[in-house]
Amino acid sequence: MNNIFIVTPSYLISKKRDFAAGIRQLTRLGVNVVNPEFPEILPAPQEKAEQIHAAFADPGVDILLALRGGYSAMKALPFIDFDLIVKHPKIIAGFSDLSALLNPIYERTGLVTLHAPMLINLGTPTAFTQQSLVNAVKGYPQKNLFKGVRFKVYQPGSATGILKGGNLITLTALLKTDWEIDTQGAILFFEDVDEKRHEVDRYLTQWILAGKFTGIKALLLGDFRGIRSRQIYDILAAQMELDFPVVHCPNIGHVANKITLPIGAEVELNTERRQLLIRNMAFPGGTPLTSSG
């Protein structure tokens, strides 16, 4: 049985019933939540880091799962002890605001992290989301991350690189800091939620002006709730030559049917075969989740 520790690097869950629903679903999946008490006080940035350290160092914990996203995970970065994480490798999972932790943890430790649903998303998960999460925690026996997924190809081709990315506005805030993503050789993915088109234009233009698309191997556009993927593609195509594969996958982002993606895994995108295939991955050990069917 997996032991999961719920960490609170971003916001709190406001309703206790939503927290309890997520705990119940994890129990149905055959896991034990080490700290099932409803958190009512948001830790300060240093306390968030200390909570993460305690969970990594605890031999009785297999997985760190974020409570929810929101904002402020990046404030914990100056206090994170990456050497401690290297000494106690475990799975850490979340998305949205957690992008600010998942990518730096991979880049500073070499440990694959999971861009995955959080406790707040697990109260009533779809079968698709649950199956993808279980596949991830088992160590990805199904290597094709796009199996059963419909996606749109804007620039065809094939490419192999390290999978990195997440929430666009969160990762943009890390540019020109000590924790910005190294995009060289990356297959990069972005998603966002309820941002206006001109705001997304501004974020993407900043990435272009900062040279962050130079040297990437491919780009995956996730869901941008309220903005069509074609509009996102056009923002990029109007400003730069897209000499790498570009696809839109509607199952990346703040969506009901969500793929759990391994940040830090070497993956191969092949638009003709319609595959995003894991080629190599330094994944933390642990006993697998079991689906209740």
- Name the 3-class secondary structure at 82: helix
Q: Do both 103 and 192 map to the same domain?
A: no
Count of the separate structural domains present in the chain? 2
pLDDT number for residue 9: 97
The phi-psi region of residue 167 (left if phi > 0; otherwise alpha if psi is between -120 and 50; otherwise beta) is: beta
The amino acid present at 288, given as its one-letter code, is: P
- Per the structure block, which two tokens stand in for 128? 């698709």
pLDDT number for residue 95: 98
Cα–Cα dist 197/195, whole Å:
7
Q: Do both 161 and 204 map to the same domain?
A: yes
10-residue mean pLDDT profile of the chain (293 residues): values are 92 96 94 96 97 97 97 97 97 98 97 98 95 94 95 97 98 98 98 96 98 97 96 98 97 97 98 96 65 46
Residues with catalytic function: 96, 191, 254
Residue among 129, 114, 140, 159 nearest 261 (CA): 114
The CATH number given to whatever domain includes residue 250 is 3.50.30.60
Tokens 């916001």 belong to 11
Does 136 map to a domain? no
Does 291 map to a domain? no
Cα–Cα dist 253/80, whole Å:
26
Cα–Cα dist 39/183, whole Å:
36
pLDDT number for residue 293: 41
72: number of CA atoms within 13 Å, CB side? 14
Contact 173, 167 (CB under 8 A): no
For the chain, the distance separating the N- and C-terminal CA atoms, rounded to the nearest angstrom, is 17
Contact 57, 84 (CB under 8 A): yes
Q: Do both 114 and 157 map to the same domain?
A: no
Rg of the chain over Cα atoms, rounded to whole angstroms, equals: 18
pTM of the model: 0.96
The amino acid present at 58, given as its one-letter code, is: D
pLDDT number for residue 287: 46
- The CA-atom distances, in angstroms, between 73 and each of 78, 104, 142, 207, 246 are 11, 12, 30, 21, 29
Q: Do both 165 and 106 map to the same domain?
A: no
The CATH number given to whatever domain includes residue 93 is 3.40.50.10740
Q: Domain range spanning residue 68? A: 2-125
Tokens 């993956």 belong to 267
Q: Do both 184 and 68 map to the same domain?
A: no
DSSP 269: E
